[in-house]
Structure formats: C-alpha cells, structure tokens
Amino acid sequence: MLKVEHIGIAVRSLSVSIPLFEKLLNTPCYKTEEVAAEGVTTAFFQQGETKIELLESVKAGSAVAKFLDKKGEGVHHIAFEVADIHAEIERLRAEGFEVINAEPRVGADNKLVCFLHPKSTNGVLIELTQSR
C-alpha cells in the first residue's frame, strides 16, 4: 500500500456539505463526479498527499444510502493507493481478507477500485485504488 489515497465520508447533501468542508479545510472542492455504478455523486478536496471524498447517494438502496439509513453521516471508508490492484487482490485474498469485487471496477477520479468487506477488516470498509 502506497498511501491513504482518500477518506470517504457519507453525507446526505453535497449542497450542504461542500460549503461546510470548504470552510473546515479552507480549500475549495476541486471536482464533483457522479459514479452511476455506485449510485453516488462524489466531491473531492485535496489535502496534502491525500483527499477527502464526500459521497451523496443518488440511488435508493445504494451502499451509501444503506449506510446513511443505518449509521447516519460519517466516515464511510478509507482508500489506499496500490501500484498493482490485481496483485494486491490476490495477496489479500490469500491472507484471508474478503474482497467484495474480485474484478476492479472504474471509480471516481480516474481510478480502478475494489473494496474489502468490513467484517474482515475490524469493521472498516477498505477501498484499494490504482491510477488508470
């Protein structure tokens, strides 16, 4: 794992949370991007080497929608950057971690992504990202 690529935060409304995080971080949101496959719209803030990714659900029943219903707004996942996502998937599966999507899929900000189930990571949803 190279670095924490981003921290994902589930929010109910980007129109409320973008200004709040711009004030908090004293930095502008540099992009918003819908990821239809995930049923979310994301908003990104660069913070040094890492990013904050706000996530608003745009589809009923999406992972973020379910999270918000169950836990409310808050930290949703930690994303790590890897050099070779396929190799990391194989390594982690061999180590006994549950990989949710064995085939990486296209995520936001021009990344390939996959996720590890929180039940195999002490309750923390982990995302792996590789630049495309």
Ligand X SMILES: CC[C@H](C(=O)O)C(=O)SCCNC(=O)CCNC(=O)[C@H](O)C(C)(C)COP(=O)(O)OP(=O)(O)OC[C@H]1O[C@@H](n2cnc3c(N)ncnc32)[C@H](O)[C@@H]1OP(=O)(O)O
Between CA 116 and CA 12 the distance in angstroms is: 24
CA distances, 118 to each of 30, 48, 59, 92, 122 (Å): 29, 27, 22, 13, 6
Q: Is 79 in the site for Co ion (CB under 5 A)?
A: yes
Question: What token pair was written down for 2?
Answer: 């190279």
In the complex with ligand X, the residue whose CB is nearer, 26 or 41, is: 41
In the complex with ligand X, the residue whose CB is nearer, 71 or 91, is: 71
> How many residues in the shown chain lie near ligand X by CB under 6 A?
26
Question: What token pair was written down for 113?
Answer: 């992504």
By CB under 6 A, name the binding residues for ligand X: 8, 35, 38, 40, 42, 53, 55, 63-64, 66-67, 70, 76-77, 79, 100, 107-108, 111, 113, 115, 117-118, 123, 125, 127
